[in-house]
Amino acid sequence: MTASSNGYSQNGADAQERRFGTLAVHAGSPHDPTTGAVIAPISLSTTFAQTSVGNPVGLYEYTRSSNPNRDNFEQAVAALEHAKYALAFSSGSATTATILQSLAAGSHVVSVSDVYGGTHRYFTKVASAHGVHVTFSPCIEVDVEALIRPGETKLVWIETPSNPTLGLVDIRNVAAVAHRHGIIVVVDNTFMSPYVQNPLDHGADIVVHSVTKYINGHSDVLMGVAAFNSDSLKDRLTFLQNAIGAVPSPFDCWLAHRGLKTLHLRAREATNNATIVAKALESSPHVISVNYPGLDSHPHRAIAIKQHRQGMGGGMLSFRIKGGQKAAHLFCQYTKVFTLAESLGGVESLCEVPSSMTHAGIPKDQREAAGVFDDLVRMSCGVEDAEDLKVDTLQALEKAVLASQQMENGSMENGSA
């Protein structure tokens, strides 16, 4: 659905002239012309009446093809990502699958190494089965030119920040190389959200999100979205969206659109909280290293300043804890405000151990080559009070490291006995 038809032209104002917060609230939210309802009703009907064969009463025929709530949501995302079009899917993984499905058998993809575990699973176990092969790079900015196979490489896939090591990629640099070869660049912007980063402005062709995370923001919707400007991509991906049928329900679209309206508020608070927690971790003697793009110590801090709104680091961070995997597991069990759970981007704070959870399906040697060690903990900072999150982090850290040391000492004593 196009951003230009987003229903936000009150008082004759062009939606694109509005600032983010105003767009988040109003884009894709026309007042109901019949009732005057300020918030759109949930349109649950799967089918729509026709006045004669092939002539629907309104714009809709069948909900798999299009639905008022999905249209509204897609229009809002398109506006916030500075895109001409956006298409919603039933999950972030369905979004990835549809984009890869658009490639012909024999196509080649270049991807960053430290991608979300589900993306890695699709690339290595599903895409390869229908003839699309992926080459992973730990440093795509340096390697992309050498990894491109003329005539075969059709797509470059970037996560920035990457999941879970929070590495950044200079989108414009990679896009410049890819575009010289006529290759499409996809950026997974899930960790940052449209509020913090707009990849299309930096040369990407498609930006994708797991809407489940920051865009919805309340851990109660499973959805994905892709936004782009190309008319040819619109035709190709809309066909696949309908043909594959991996579309979200009207209710999920309505919920996600409601969540999107507060994205800017949540993203700012999550960033503030993550910054405070990251600094506390960086100062702790129990921590090996901290991955957070908002810290001056981050190796890609200059990219964050260039690509992110006001250099924001976002709400995600990860760190390596002293004491190995056991300490990492214990840390997540000892937190009281942070919940041990997969996913991210909700109003509640979460923590997990990627090597044992979200990235467990990736072989250990490949995980560690991408920086995903057994002692790595990933944290999603929500919108609770920052001081409570800091205190919770430090107490869990202290207890986890001490307990792991005691276990280690106990096992050594038993071994010597």
Catalytic residues: 64, 116, 188, 213
Pair type for strands 316-321 and 376-380: antiparallel
**Exposure of 49 by Cβ count < 10 A (0-12 exposed, 13-18 middle, 19+ buried)?**
exposed
What's the rounded Cα separation, in Å, for the pair 242 and 101? 13
Q: Are 104 and 133 in contact (CB under 8 A)?
A: no
CA distances (Å), origin 181, targets 141, 151, 170: 15, 9, 18
> How many other CB atoms are there within 10 angstroms of residue 11's CB atom?
4
SS3 43: coil
Nearest Cα to Cα of residue 23 among 36, 9, 37, 11:
9
What's the rounded Cα separation, in Å, for the pair 67 and 75? 12
Say how many residues make up the chain. Answer: 417
Sheet containing strand 153-159, edge to edge, reads 85-89, 224-228, 206-210, 184-188, 153-159, 108-112, 133-137
> How many other CB atoms are there within 10 angstroms of residue 334's CB atom?
17
Place of tokens 């999603």: 380
Q: Are 202 and 52 in contact (CB under 8 A)?
A: no
Question: In angstroms, what is the C-alpha Rg of the chain?
Answer: 22
Strands (DSSP E) contained in 92-217 are 108-112, 133-137, 153-159, 184-188, 206-210
* DSSP 8-state secondary structure symbol assigned to residue 5: G
> How many other CB atoms are there within 10 angstroms of residue 314's CB atom?
28
Pair type for strands 153-159 and 184-188: parallel
